[in-house]
């Protein structure tokens, strides 16, 4: 059996789950998320835990078993606790500001970049003196949060020489030596 797929998902207090015709809906304090599940995978709630089962040991069934278990576990964690990601803008003159769902970024280009965020994502920006500007994103949907964070990062990826660009907080960048190292 799939090691991930066979593990039951504990439902925290305040989280409701509905299973109807291949659609799993999870509702909690942070919102409501839905996921369509393949017809071969069976989802059931037993003793306050969500259990997924598969009909056979075919490679496809084994793959889907672990996949849907992980997706439903992410949904349960998202509606109860939520997800959060922080990004730093490293570079002279790099700034971030937000007005509602509009993120305004100054990344060293000749123009500012306006980035409209989905309504499900909550954004805050910090510009403290002596610190790199930060963009903090919060959402119940892990997939959406990761997608938006990677799109923001792609606007100015960190370069390997000085490390300038948009990086995740805590991310370790592989640095390269400059020209002076090649002369020796």
- pLDDT tens-digit profile, the chain (184 residues): 458 888 999 999 999 999 998 899 999 999 999 999 999 999 999 998 999 999 999 999 999 999 999 999 999 999 999 999 999 999 998 999 999 999 999 999 999 999 999 999 999 999 988 899 999 999 999 999 999 999 999 999 999 999 899 999 998 989 988 887 556 5
The answer to whether 26 and 76 have CB atoms below 8 angstroms apart is yes
Compute φ and ψ for 115, nearest 5 degrees: -125, 115
Q: What is the C-alpha to C-alpha distance for residues 173 and 142, in angstroms, rounded to an integer?
A: 23
Strands 113-116 and 83-90: unpaired
Pick the CATH number of 83-168 from 1.10.10.60, 3.30.43.10, 3.30.70.1400, 3.90.930.12: 3.90.930.12
The answer to whether 102 and 82 have CB atoms below 8 angstroms apart is no
Domain boundaries, the chain: 9-80, 83-168
Looking at the domain that runs over 9-80, which CATH code has it been given?
3.90.930.12
Q: Please give the structure tokens belonging to residue 38.
A: 């393949």
| Nearest Cα to Cα of residue 157 among 147, 168, 146, 148 | 168
| Nearest Cα to Cα of residue 146 among 75, 85, 101, 87 | 85
């Amino acid at each position: 059996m799939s090691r991930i797929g066979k593990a039951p998902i504990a439902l925290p207090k305040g989280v409701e789950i509905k299973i109807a015709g291949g659609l799993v809906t999870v509702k909690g304090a942070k919102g409501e998320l839905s996921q369509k599940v393949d017809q071969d995978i069976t989802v059931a709630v037993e003793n306050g835990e969500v259990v997924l089962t598969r009909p056979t040991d075919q490679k496809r069934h084994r793959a889907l078993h672990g996949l849907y278990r992980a997706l439903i576990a992410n949904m349960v964690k998202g509606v109860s606790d939520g997800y959060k990601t922080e990004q730093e803008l490293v570079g002279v003159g790099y700034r971030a500001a937000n007005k509602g769902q509009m993120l305004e970024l100054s990344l060293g280009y000749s123009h500012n970049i306006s980035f409209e965020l989905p309504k499900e994502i909550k954004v805050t920006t910090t510009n403290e003196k002596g610190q790199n500007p930060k963009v903090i994103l919060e959402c119940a949907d892990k997939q959406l949060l990761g997608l938006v964070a990677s799109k923001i990062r792609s606007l100015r990826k960190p370069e390997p020489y000085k490390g300038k660009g948009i990086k995740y907080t805590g991310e370790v960048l592989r640095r390269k030596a400059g020209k002076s190292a090649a002369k020796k």
